[in-house]
A and B are shown apart, each in its own frame.
Chain A
Amino acid sequence: MFEILIPGFILGGFALISSTGLYIASKKFYVYEDPRIAEVTELLPGANCGGCGFAGCAAYAENVVNENSLDNPCPVADDETMSQIGALLGLATEAGEKKVASLMCKGTSQNCKSVMEYKGIEDCWAAVLVADTSKACSFSCLGLGSCVRACSFDAMYIEDGIVVIDDEKCTGCGMCISTCPKDLLHMRPKAKTTTVTCLNTDRGADARRACSVACIGCMKCEKVCEDDAIHVNNFLAKIDYEKCTQCGKCVEACPTNSIEIREVTVDA
Chain B
Amino acid sequence: MPKTFEMGGIHPPEDKISSDEQIIFGEVPEKLLVPVDQHIGKPCEIIVEKGSVVERGQLVAKSTGFVSSNVHSPVAGKVDKIVKMPQLGGQIKQCALISPETSGENYADILKKDSNNNINLEKLSVENIRKTIADAGIVGMGGAGFPTHVKLSPPPEKTIDTLIINGAECEPYITSDHRVMLEHAEEMIKGILILQHLFDGVPIYIGIERNKPDAIETLEKAAKDYDKITVVPLIVKYPQGGEKQLIKAILNREVPSKGLPMDVGVVVQNVATVLSIHDAFYHNRPLMERVVTISGNLVKKPGNIMLPIGTPISYVMDKFEIDPEKVRVMISGGPMMGRTSYSFESPITKTTSALLFFDESRIIGRDENPCIRCGSCLRACPMGLAVAQLTEMIKANNIASAVQDSIMDCIECGSCSYVCPADRRLVHWMRLGKNIIRREN
Contact = CB atoms under 8 A, between A and B. Distances in A.
Do A and B bind? yes
Interface of A: 115-116, 119-121, 123, 125-126, 129-133, 138, 202
A130 B425 contact: no
Q: Chain B binding site: helix, strand, loop or mixed by DSSP? A: mixed
22 contacts: A116-B340, A119-B365, A120-B425, A120-B428, A121-B368, A121-B425, A121-B429, A121-B432, A123-B432, A125-B432, A125-B435, A125-B436, A126-B432, A129-B431, A130-B90, A130-B428, A131-B86, A131-B90, A131-B91, A132-B91, A133-B92, A138-B84
Given A125-B435, A138-B92, A132 B339 contact: no
Interface of B: 84, 86, 89-92, 339-343, 365, 368, 425, 428-429, 431-432, 435-436
Contacts of A138: 84, 86, 92
A116 B89 CA distance: 13
Nearest to A133: B92
Contacts of B429: 121, 126
Nearest to A130: B90
A131 B346 CA distance: 13
Contacts of A132: 86, 90-92
A132 B92 CA distance: 6
A58 B341 CA distance: 48
A115 B425 contact: no
B342 A116 contact: yes
Contacts of A119: 365
A115 B89 CA distance: 15
Main secondary structure on A side of the interface with B: loop
A121 B426 CA distance: 10
B342 A115 contact: yes
A130 B339 contact: yes
Nearest to A120: B428
A202 B94 CA distance: 13
A131 to B, nearest CB: 3
Given A115-B342, A116-B342, A121-B429, A129 B92 contact: no
Nearest to B341: A131
Given A121-B425, A131-B86, 20 more contacts: A115-B343, A119-B365, A121-B368, A121-B429, A121-B432, A125-B435, A125-B436, A126-B428, A126-B431, A129-B428, A129-B432, A130-B339, A130-B340, A130-B428, A131-B91, A131-B340, A131-B341, A132-B86, A132-B92, A138-B92
Contacts of A123: 432
Nearest to B91: A132
A120 B414 CA distance: 14
Given A120-B425, A121-B428, A138-B92, A129 B342 contact: no
A121 B430 CA distance: 11
Nearest to A123: B432
A14 to B, nearest CB: 40
Q: Which 9 A-B pairs have the closest CB atoms?
A: A131-B90, A116-B342, A126-B432, A132-B92, A138-B92, A132-B91, A120-B428, A121-B428, A121-B425
A119 B364 CA distance: 11
A116 B339 CA distance: 13
Nearest to A115: B342
A38 B368 CA distance: 45
A116 B331 CA distance: 13
Contacts of B339: 130
A131 B342 contact: yes
Nearest to A119: B365
A31 B367 CA distance: 54
Q: Among B341, B342, B365, find the residue whose CB has the most chain A CB atoms closer than 10 A.
A: B342
